[in-house]
A = this chain, B = another copy of it.
Amino acid sequence: MPGQRSITQAEKLAEAKLGGIPVRHEQMAVVANIYRAASAVRQHLENSVLRGADLTWTAFVVLWVVWVWGESETRHVAEEAGISKGTLTGVSRTLEKRGLIKRAGHPTDGRLVLLSLTEEGEELMRRVFPAFNEEEAFVTARLDDEDCRTVADGLRRVVLQVEEHGEERRLTLLDGAPPAPRRSGRRAQG
């Protein structure tokens, strides 16, 4: 199996490259495998259930959030779906065009936009989610329920660590230095 072997091998090669500087192997393996697993799972779900419903991963996540939470403000949906508000604007417009989502202004605060599923959207989710959950079970088939709880808990700790101390950590690292603007993306005006 190339997956595991290549990771181990890559770690050794990396250490050789660094010539004596110690590498935190276990931590590196966690991060590397989080990303590998995320890609593999996403790929599988897109190819098995989502493509048949003509949904991308992101579109499904957005639908799922709105479905489960009911009518919600866009900023909360973006937060929960793990995408930026700017991205959500585009995605929700696409879903609106397909008749799966409704967009409505907030009754009292004109700045807010509320998202909710149309009846067609509800129907789609009632049909697609069980299949989606079935594939979630497939990809985790080599873990029993106890293993799943352990892994999920470990991942939750990673998320919490970043959520609670990430900002502070970044400030410490940069140590007052300017936040280094992204090279890509919109440029500052003159």
Contacts and interface: CB of A to CB of B under 8 A. Distances in A.
A13 to B, nearest CB: 5
A166 B40 contact: yes
30 contacts: A14-B67, A14-B129, A17-B67, A21-B130, A23-B133, A26-B140, A26-B152, A27-B140, A27-B148, A29-B148, A30-B136, A30-B148, A30-B151, A30-B152, A30-B155, A32-B152, A34-B37, A34-B155, A35-B38, A35-B82, A41-B162, A43-B162, A44-B166, A48-B170, A51-B182, A52-B180, A138-B161, A139-B158, A139-B166, A140-B158
Interface size class of A (residues with CB under 8 A): 35 or more
Contacts of A23: 133
A157 B143 contact: yes
Contacts of A82: 35-36, 39
A67 to B, nearest CB: 7
A104 interface: no
Contact of A180 (B21, B39, B51, B181): B51
Contacts of A160: 1, 3-4, 142
Interface in A114-128: 125-126
Nearest to A24: B137
Given A41-B158, A51-B181, 17 more contacts: A7-B156, A10-B68, A17-B68, A26-B148, A32-B152, A33-B151, A33-B152, A33-B155, A34-B34, A34-B41, A34-B155, A40-B158, A41-B162, A44-B162, A44-B169, A54-B183, A56-B184
